Amino acid sequence: MAYIKSVRGFTPKIGENCFLAENATIVGDVVMGNDCSVWFNAVLRGDVNSIRIGNKVNIQDGSVLHTLYQKSTIEIGNNVSIGHNVNIHGAKICDNCLIGIGATILDDAVIGENSIIAANALILSKTIVEPNSVYAGVPAKKVKDIEPEQTQEMINKIANNYLMYASWYKDEE
């Protein structure tokens, strides 16, 4: 079972049909919706401020989510895939997004809906990523606009795959 810890009077709240890997860490003021998964070695550290996660969100292996004390929070919408080894620090990610492997998203950045952040991209503090766009690079810049239908196919496929992967582990419990 995942390491779930109360801090400062806040106990994580986990929705229905969620998979939490045995060595995932979820601490403090974290509220997670339904059909989510938090994978191996991921850390959701809501000790200094809140982390709010929608439905059908997968937070893959090694990712770290944290905030700034009394300043930044994390908000993640619905149908979002957070790739392996992603760092999110006090940012907002809107619905239907894909955050690529190794990306870093810093405080007060906003990732618009139906957007893709490329692998290893660095989204600087206060960056506003327009909806329906792809950002890549260090620091990340807009690469192109994409049609919502294009992102939906890829984003939905990954989110649905992670629901399936999570079910494999539940069958083993």
Work out whether strand 64-66 and strand 98-99 pair parallel, antiparallel, or are unpaired: unpaired
Checking if the pLDDT of 172 tops 80, the result is no
Q: Whole-angstrom Cα distance, residue 7 to residue 131?
A: 35
Determine the residue type at 163: L
pTM: 0.95
Checking if the pLDDT of 173 tops 80, the result is no
Domains present along the chain, CATH in parentheses: 3-172 (2.160.10.10)
Checking if the pLDDT of 52 tops 90, the result is yes
The continuous run of DSSP H or E covering 124 comes out as: none
